[in-house]
Amino acid sequence: MEHRLQSQQEADSPFSIYSRYITSCYNGQLAARPYYQQLQDYLMTDGSTLLQKPKCFELRREALKTGSLTDSDLSSPRRRPCIVVLDGFPSPQCISTIGAKEMVRPELFIGHLGFTCNRPSYRKFFELPSVPSDRRNVIHVRLISMAQTMTGDTKVKSLAQNRTQADTKCTDIEHQLFSKKQYGAPRFRKVHLHNSRTFSVEQLVSFSITQRGNEPWCGKSIFEPGQVTSLSIAGVFLLDRGYSLQGQHNLPWSNHIGGRSPAHFIPVIPYNRSECPNNNKGAATSPSHPYHPIDDLWAEDEGEIELIRQDPFFILSRLFSSAGRSFSPVLNHLDEDIEACASCPTTDETQLSAALEQLQFNARLIVRFEGFLEENYHVIEEGGDESWPKASDLALQERLVKVQVSLKKDYKSLLARCARLASRCEVSSRTLVGAMQLLEAKKGIDQTKQVHKLTRLAFIFIPLTFVSGVFGMNVSTFKDYPPLWTYFVVAIPLTFVSWYGSGISGSNRHKLPRFLTMESLKKN
C-alpha cells in the first residue's frame, strides 16, 4: 500500500508531469528525441540545497495603476492574468514546477538554458534562430549592457588576446553554472571588449505565453540578473534576489579590463519618456541590465490597464522597447570608435594595423547585433503569435497598432543605423588597407634605394678588382712587374668613369636610347 502510494506521488510530481509533457512534444518524430532529451536529462540532475523560487505576479488593476505588483505563490489559485518570473540560472526543480503548472513548451527552457556550451560539439542542433513561423510563442530577446572604467591599459597589442581569453572565461563560467549547480546566478551570454576601458555584456530574456482553464492568459518571463560593479553583487537588478558570484575572478572581464578601478555599468537613460509611478523599485534595479518585466508593468490610464490584461503583446512591446534602447549606447560607441579608427594617422604602420583590426571587430559585432534586431523586428511585425489572446475592443486594438508602428519605426531606424555603420566599417577598412599598401610601397621604394646605394658601392670595387686581375695576369707584357703608380693611373680614371655612369638618373638613362634612335633616323 505504501509502495503504491509512493508510486502515485512520484507519478503526480512536477517532474513526472512535465517529463511526460516533454515526451508528448516529440511523439511521432523520434529523430528529434535527443533534442528534447537534453532537457529531461537536466531535470534529473537536481540535487542542490540552494533555494530558487519562481515569482508569480497577478495583474491586479489597482497594482497596475500604481506600478506596485507583488509576487505570490505559483501554486496558489488565481482568477487573473499573471506573470511568472524566474531569476538567474534556472534550477531543474523550478523548471519542473513552472512546466508542470503551466505546460510550457520545452523549447523555451532549452533555448534559454543553452546546452551548447555543456555538451559535445557533435550534439549541437543549430536550432536557433528558427524560421519565424516555427517560433510561435517562444521568444528570445537579447539585451546589451555597457560598462566603463576610469583606468586601463592603453596598449592595443594584447586586445585580441584578451578578447579570446574573455570568451574562454565566459564559457568556463557557463560550465561552472551546470557543474556546480549555481542556480539563480547571473549569466553572461557574451562579453565584448571594445577597448581597454569599455566592454559590453549580452544577456537573454526568454518569453512565452500559455493558456490554461478559463483564465485570459498567463505570461512567463525568464531573465538574467546583472551586476552593479565588477565586485559581482548579484540580485539588485532582481530586487536583491539571486545567487551571488563571489570574487572578481569569477567575472569574464575581470582579468582584462579596469585594472585597479572597478567597472561601472552605464545606465540606459529614460530619455524623454513618460513619468512612471514612484514605487521605489529604481533603487533595486541594476544599471547593468536595463529591463525587468515587473518594472514595466504599470499603466498610464485605464486603456493601458485593459491592454496589459487582455493582450500579452503589449507587455512584450515593453520588453522590445527596452531591448531597442539597450542597443543604442553600444551603437553610439561603435559610431565614435569607427570615426576614431578612420581618423588614424596614416604614417604609423602599427596604429594602422590596430585600427584595421578594431574595424574588423566592430564589423563582426554590427552583423551580430543586426541579426538580433531583425529577429525582434519579425516578432513585432507579426504582433506576437496568432494564437495569443487579442484585445476585444476596437479602440484598444487601434492603440496597440500605434504601439506596434512605433516599435517598427524604432527598429527600422536601428537596422538602418547598423547598415550605415557596417558600410562605414567597410569604407574605412578599404581606406586603411590602401594606406597600409602605400606605406608598404614606400618601404619597398626605400629598400630599392638602399639596394641602389649598395650597388653603387660595387662600382668602386669592381673596376679595382678588374684592374688588379689584369695586372696580375701571367702574360709577357707584365712579366717585368710594372711600377705601382701604373696601377693607380689606370684604376682611378676607370673607377671615376664607372662611378659617374652609375650616378646617371633613371630618366636620363631612358632618354639616352631615345636620343640615339632619333640621331640614327636623322642620318637615314
Helix orientation angle between 92-102 and 33-43, rounded to the nearest 10 degrees = 120
How far apart are the C-alpha atoms of 516 and 524, rounded to whole Å?
13
How far apart are the C-alpha atoms of 315 and 318, rounded to whole Å?
5
HSE at residue 117, side-chain half, CA atoms within 13 A, is 21
According to the model, what pLDDT value does residue 238 have? 29
User: Quick check: helix, strand or coil at residue 86?
Assistant: strand
State the amino acid at position 19 in one-letter form. Answer: S
HSE at residue 255, side-chain half, CA atoms within 13 A, is 14
Pair 55, 85: CB distance under 8 Å:
yes
In tens digits, what is the pLDDT along the chain, a chain of 524 residues? 444 545 555 667 889 999 999 999 988 788 889 999 999 999 998 766 566 788 887 778 888 877 777 777 777 766 677 788 888 888 899 889 888 887 888 998 898 888 876 665 556 788 877 877 777 788 888 889 888 877 655 555 578 888 888 888 888 888 888 888 888 888 888 899 998 889 998 988 888 887 665 455 666 666 665 433 332 222 222 222 344 444 445 676 766 664 556 677 788 777 787 666 555 444 333 434 446 677 777 778 888 888 888 888 888 898 899 899 999 999 999 999 999 999 888 788 888 999 999 999 999 999 999 999 999 999 999 888 887 778 888 899 999 999 999 999 999 999 999 999 999 999 999 999 998 888 888 888 888 888 877 777 776 777 777 777 776 766 666 666 667 677 777 777 777 777 676 665 555 555 555 555 655 655 55
Identify which of 103, 89, 102 has the alpha carbon closest to the alpha carbon of residue 42: 89
According to the model, what pLDDT value does residue 243 have? 46
**Separation of CA 357 from chain center:** 16
How far apart are the C-alpha atoms of 169 and 163, rounded to whole Å?
10
**Separation of CA 510 from chain center:** 58
Pair 257, 148: CB distance under 8 Å:
no
**What is the residue-wise DSSP string for 223-290?**
E---BSBTT--BSTTTTT-SPPPPSGGGSTTTTTS-TTSPPEEPP---TTPPP----S-GGG--TTS-
Cell readout for 460 is 668602386
**What is the residue-wise DSSP string for 131-190?**
-HHHHTTEEEEEEEEEEE-S------TTHHHHHHHHHHHHHHHHHHHHHTT-TT----SE
Pair 82, 57: CB distance under 8 Å:
yes
Q: Is the peptide bond before 129 cis (omega within 30 degrees of 0)?
A: yes
How far apart are the C-alpha atoms of 474 and 478, rounded to whole Å?
7
How far apart are the C-alpha atoms of 202 and 224, rounded to whole Å?
10
Q: Which residues contact 68 (CB under 8 A, 6 or more apart)?
A: 277, 279
Identify which of 88, 81, 87, 130 has the alpha carbon closest to the alpha carbon of residue 102: 81
User: What is the β-pairing status of strands 82-87 and 218-223?
Assistant: parallel
According to the model, what pLDDT value does residue 422 have? 97
State the amino acid at position 22 in one-letter form. Answer: I
Q: Which residues of 378-394 are buried (b: 16+ CB within 10 A; e: fewer)?
A: ebbeebbbeebbebeee
How far apart are the C-alpha atoms of 427 and 157, rounded to whole Å?
24
How far apart are the C-alpha atoms of 334 and 328, rounded to whole Å?
10
Pair 218, 203: CB distance under 8 Å:
no
Cell readout for 146 is 555597457
Residue the block writes with cell 678588382? 465
According to the model, what pLDDT value does residue 301 have? 83
Query: pTM for the complete prediction?
Result: 0.79
State the amino acid at position 212 in one-letter form. Answer: R
How far apart are the C-alpha atoms of 315 and 379, rounded to whole Å?
13
How far apart are the C-alpha atoms of 98 and 93, rounded to whole Å?
9
In angstroms, how far apart are the furthest CA atoms of the chain?
Answer: 134
